[in-house]
Structure 1
């Protein structure tokens, strides 16, 4: 009975999340995804470019000459993104800081796709544990939203190039913020990502040696498979399916697949914490399990909590309490 109620609750939340989402055009947009690249005339040309950046360890580095420009005022931090887009508001990064009163530890939090508010409860909870929390706005969210948009349709979309650019921008913004935190004297830096935010946080942890702990909630490996099979991304699949095969989408979005960075995530000075939902219809359990196996095979230091709830019902008691206690033990 409980599980049927949970499944129904998750489905109702998913339906509400569909409001305002519309199918949009499939676009390659390679020159947006890959700096210096020329326009790709075919899916195969796009995939060749994706293969090349997958082998480039500097792809997720902060662009050179992006400058600092940090401004802090009354618990808020603002700085220019190192990646410039055609949406002016998106080019300024905002972050909410909840102080702990200590310079020992700081955590950068990456929210879920289409988040409507930052998570004050998590920030307050972690600050009481002595962790300063910095909740960053991912591209096209919160203060960075595209004018007139009902949801963050530019962060994740059937525009293959824009999606890569958006995730890369989120990673570079996160790394720039982490460098600033280190310059402020914080000694231990961790990241927390939720759903789509877990892909960004995972990529940050894989590429930034300053990160010593990474907690990934509701995560998977292949972003292509998540979009193709997930309950929250049906409108995107509707646009993709007539134009591209899943096998090609996996290759096109290969630079965003956490499985491809398993060995980086398994480095000896990084601890990983993962919270998964067994009844997840957004990030299917088989996608999470595949990533977990890849990490185990690479020798990652991995702490996994699996809860018998859905993607959205993780946010309600008792599941969120179990997740919070697990996170507390991990950070301790």
Structure 2
């Protein structure tokens, strides 16, 4: 009875999230994803560049290592993004800092797609326990929102190139913030990503050796599969399906597939923590299971917590309390963890 109610609650929440989401046209916009690719006009050419990006270890490296432009005041930090877009507001990165008073540990949080508020309770909980929390705004969210938009449609959409650009921008912004935190004296840097934010946090952890721990909530490997099968992205699939199939989409969004970086995530100095929802209709459990298997096949030993709830109901007690306690143990432990 309880789980039937939980499923209905998740479905109602998903329906509310559909407001303002409509079908759009599939667009390549290759030059956004791959600078210098203005002449690319076919899906095959786009996919060739995507294949090259997956093989290029520098694709998610910062184009500029300048520390200029960081401004902090009253618990806020802002700095210029290294990727310039046609939305002026999106080109300035904002982050909210909950200071613990210690430089021992810091946790950088990457929120979910279309988040309407930051995670104040998580920030307060950990900052009171000696872990500074920095909540960064991902592209086209919060202070970076596109004027007039009802949701963060530029972050994830049927525009293949803009989606890659947006996720890559989120990764570069996060890496730039992490480098600043290291320069400020923070020693142990962890990242936490939720749903779409878990892809960003995972890509950062895979490419940035400064990250020692990564916690991924509601995650999987292939972003293409998540969009194609997920409850929250039906409008995007409906936009893509008339012109592209899942096999091609997987290749086009290959640079965003965490499974392609499983070997990097298995590096011995990175600890992984994963929270999954067994009743998830947004990130399907079979996609998560496939990614977990790939991680373990490469030698990673993620600490995995599976809860009997849905994607949205993870935020409800007792599930969020269990997830929070698991995260606390993970951040406090020096070990790489185990399945729970």
Alignment TM-score > 0.5, same fold? yes
CA distance in 2: counterparts of 1:66 and 1:145, whole angstroms: 25
Aligned to 2:323: 323
Aligned to 2:251: 251
Deviations 1:27-64 (A, max 9, x none): 00111100222332211110000001111111101113
Aligned to 2:143: 143
Aligned to 2:55: 55
Aligned to 2:130: 130
CA distance in 1: counterparts of 2:251 and 2:129, whole angstroms: 41
Deviations 1:275-298 (A, max 9, x none): 000000000001100100000001
Is the 2:224–2:250 contact (alpha carbons within 8 Å) kept by the matching residues of 1?
yes
CA distance in 1: counterparts of 2:230 and 2:303, whole angstroms: 25
CA distance in 2: counterparts of 1:136 and 1:65, whole angstroms: 19
TM-score for both structures, normalised by structure 1: 0.99
Residues 1-332 of structure 1: pairs in structure 2 closer than 5 A: 1-64=1-64, 68-332=68-332
| Deviating more after overlay: 147-156 vs 119-128 | 119-128
| Deviating more after overlay: 122-131 vs 152-161 | 122-131
CA distance in 1: counterparts of 2:114 and 2:9, whole angstroms: 18
**1:65 positional shift:** 6.2
- Count of aligned residue pairs for this structure pair: 332
CA RMSD of aligned residues (A): 0.8
CA distance in 1: counterparts of 2:216 and 2:128, whole angstroms: 21
Is the 2:67–2:180 contact (alpha carbons within 8 Å) kept by the matching residues of 1?
no
Task: Return 5+ residue gaps in structure 1 as ranges.
Answer: none
Deviations 1:104-160 (A, max 9, x none): 000110000000000100001111221100000000000000000000000000000
CA distance in 2: counterparts of 1:104 and 1:243, whole angstroms: 51
**1:25 positional shift:** 1.4
Is the 1:199–1:258 contact (alpha carbons within 8 Å) kept by the matching residues of 2?
yes
CA distance in 2: counterparts of 1:254 and 1:232, whole angstroms: 21
Deviations 1:291-330 (A, max 9, x none): 0000000111310000000000000000000000000100
Secondary structure in 2 matching 1:273:
strand
Q: Which runs of 4+ in 1 moved over 4 A?
A: none
CA distance in 2: counterparts of 1:195 and 1:92, whole angstroms: 23
Deviations 1:151-199 (A, max 9, x none): 0000000000000000000000000000000000000000000000000
Is the 2:226–2:284 contact (alpha carbons within 8 Å) kept by the matching residues of 1?
yes
TM-score for both structures, normalised by structure 2: 0.97
CA distance in 2: counterparts of 1:313 and 1:41, whole angstroms: 42
Is the 1:29–1:39 contact (alpha carbons within 8 Å) kept by the matching residues of 2?
no
